[in-house]
Amino acid sequence: MALRKSNPEFMTGIPELLILRLLSDREMYGYELVQAIETATGSAINLGEGVVYPILHSLEERACLKARSMPVNGRTRVYYTATAAGKKRLGAMITEWQRITSVVSNVVGGKAHATATA
């Protein structure tokens, strides 16, 4: 993952959305998930790799993810996967994301501004 600075002011909710999206496809452990985020976003989003774990634990606490430990090469890896509740939450987050990006795009593109001043 590129060692670039993150943009915290734009990042609220995005890591959770990405994590739920990727884990709704298949089960992954933390390192694998970070690599998947890097690949999926073309390294455009830098989470700070260690910060994914509190997000994973928090999602698990809220029953959006299910975790299971599996021994791999002499150590125990924790694999995460999205639950039905997690997929439902993902659906709601995607809808909200699309609504916000559409509104922001309009504002940035000048459509709303033009309408308001017309």
Distance (Å, whole) CA 27 – CA 12: 24
Minimum Å distance from CB 88 to another protein? 18
Distance (Å, whole) CA 72 – CA 50: 20
For position 48 contacting another protein by CB under 8 A, the verdict is yes
Minimum Å distance from CB 50 to another protein? 4
Place of tokens 């459509």: 111
- Are 24 and 55 contacting, i.e. CB atoms less than 8 angstroms apart? no
For the chain, report the end-to-end CA distance as a whole number of angstroms: 46
Pick the piece of the chain touching another protein (CB under 8 A) from 17-25, 30-38, 86-94, 98-106.
30-38
Minimum Å distance from CB 62 to another protein? 6
Of 51-80, binders to another protein (CB under 8 A) are 51, 53-55, 57-58, 61-62, 75-78
